[in-house]
A and B are shown apart, each in its own frame.
Chain A
């Protein structure tokens, strides 16, 4: 039975956003008997609704509200109104994600200690470490059904993977496999359907083989009778009382009417752009710089990973679009080895795009025969993606635009990002290794392509031991306001080299445990 709570019920936990962080937190709390109202800006789409069509799917699911950009990153020029590729739907970006699920390496939890001070970077150690997180990672891998963990076999290698693997092994790489993927790989190791190699992981998995909060955690939470998900409900502001405790949220409901939902605890999980924007848009007389912002770190330290792609063109067909989009990884460059000319490391992962997205992302803005001759060989292409640790910088930040407004008249977010020299050195190293991999298997041409709008968005409400250096403590609780939590990727102190979602999920499971026990103890 799906719960229904009153707007004046001030005993509920309100969660804003139902993606990797919010969706998991909602279910975990509901399982523990905590009453939850989850407010989600987007609508509800299930596997039968997903579209095997890149632009149509993007139109169906992507967050396209007004946003502006600045900084020297190329995205600001190529996609000035679309800094990120994020989903607005129940389940959040876990509908579009590819499923790559890997743990941080131990040294990455302590970037400042292990890399030392880097000029221009705002490095900091997380207040938690690998040992603390290990049991939560175990639970997250179990929840997501991650391949190559537990008893779950790896996925079979696709054409794109086979080219990638042969290239990697030719260069002497040894940590090469079909990835740790939140995709069911066999009929009897989980309760989802096994992957049918459809090749549209980025568009929502129509088989439900890939984990997404939309059709796992959300309905499981609703089945407890403790979770009410209100879709098409866009939170505009968080309210507080004279003691500074948060008390309610104002949101625009599906008819555009402003509603107020009371709350005992509020958890913000709107992704790394919307979460700080909401805190900033909630400024009041008592908190003129926005909620939980005494450190002035809200919106700062925006990270998006060092990314970019490499494509190899061969004299024979590869047909990279057939099969799982990202089931392939090389981890040999993921360690920290400053002799390469940069701190931190990167992963290389298989990637394929359909022809329409390939045309959009191959070299945005380019035209003429150099561009089109690449596309002419689409059938003979293999592709990979770079995911590396970018460095937090104070001025890479989300701020409120002075002029631009969204459809509700709320100040739109501006996303400012410039590459750190360390990011550029890492990207160039990775490009060269990717090209070498494909050349080693006989590519007749290999070329790098620039980063596309950010899919990994991190860091704008970062976790810190010292309240002056970050926004939340080691539980994701804001340093300033005891009953206000951050529950998404914006908590990340540093980004590490790994795709972030497994860590977001592990943190959400851990946070649910903490919130439930603090509520039981009556401390919040």
Chain B
């Protein structure tokens, strides 16, 4: 998955119907967009609410406060497909049922991370949770665009390795 899946969007109008998610806005038109309209994601098969739920799940599973939503969106974008549609619908039903059982309206409606984590813990041994979590290990961390956020420099051969670029530059020991 690449950034090609993301489309810039300037139509503020889409954002006016923002749902309960804190960081995301779900429009009625098959879009999900950042509150500051910096990016948006179009969903084709699953609903914008389902995509927003997957993104929130992704962030709650691997929360990195320095990593912006768009990367979590890229990490779960693959579930917007005919193959995954039923799995996603059933899984999110299971997730929301767990939320209801803990006294919430739905998973996305929960305001605090620690409460959402409790709901996820209730389903963590299930296939849906395990599929999403396992997929994130590569879906999230193998995005080259996020590596600089962690300081990781990636490929080095084309730059001649680190022999003259700090392989032994530690200065605080």
Contact = CB atoms under 8 A, between A and B. Distances in A.
Interface of A: 52-53, 55, 156-159, 162-163, 166, 195-200, 206-207, 316-319, 321-323, 354-356, 358-360, 365, 367-369, 371-372, 375-376, 378-379, 441
Contacts of A159: 166-170
B163 A355 contact: no
Closest 5 CB pairs of A and B: A379-B151, A196-B161, A323-B167, A198-B161, A359-B141
Q: Is the interface of A mostly helix, strand, loop or mixed?
A: loop
B173 A162 contact: yes
Nearest to A166: B173
Interface in B45-72: 60-64, 66
Interface of B: 60-64, 66, 117, 124, 133, 137-138, 140-142, 147, 150-157, 160-163, 165-170, 172-173
Contact of A356 (B141, B170, B173): B141
A66 to B, nearest CB: 18
A371 B62 contact: yes
Contact of A156 (B63, B154, B156, B168): B168
A163 B172 CA distance: 10
A199 B150 CA distance: 17
Residue of A53, A55, A323 contacting most chain B CB atoms (<10 Å): A323
B151 A317 contact: yes
Contacts of B154: 52-53, 354
Given A53-B155, A163-B173, A367 B161 contact: no
Given A52-B154, A372-B64, A375-B150, A359 B137 contact: yes
B161 A199 contact: yes
Contacts of B157: 52, 198, 200, 206-207
B63 A354 contact: no
14 contacts: A52-B157, A55-B138, A156-B168, A162-B170, A322-B162, A355-B141, A355-B147, A358-B141, A360-B138, A369-B63, A375-B64, A376-B64, A376-B66, A376-B150
A359 B61 CA distance: 13
Contact of A319 (B60, B63, B155, B166): B166
Contact of A368 (B117, B140, B163, B166): B117
Contacts of B160: 196
Nearest to A157: B168
Contacts of B138: 55, 356, 360
A321 B152 contact: yes
B133 A323 contact: no
Contacts of B155: 52-53
A197 B162 CA distance: 5
Contacts of B170: 159, 162-163, 317-319
Given A198-B157, A198-B162, A323-B167, 17 more contacts: A52-B156, A53-B155, A158-B167, A163-B170, A166-B173, A196-B160, A196-B163, A197-B163, A200-B157, A317-B170, A322-B156, A323-B168, A355-B152, A360-B138, A367-B61, A368-B61, A376-B64
A354 B173 contact: no
Contacts of B64: 372, 375-376
Contacts of B142: 55, 356
A163 B161 CA distance: 21
Contacts of B124: 367
A408 to B, nearest CB: 27
B62 A367 contact: yes
Nearest to A205: B157
Contacts of A321: 152-153
A206 B161 CA distance: 10
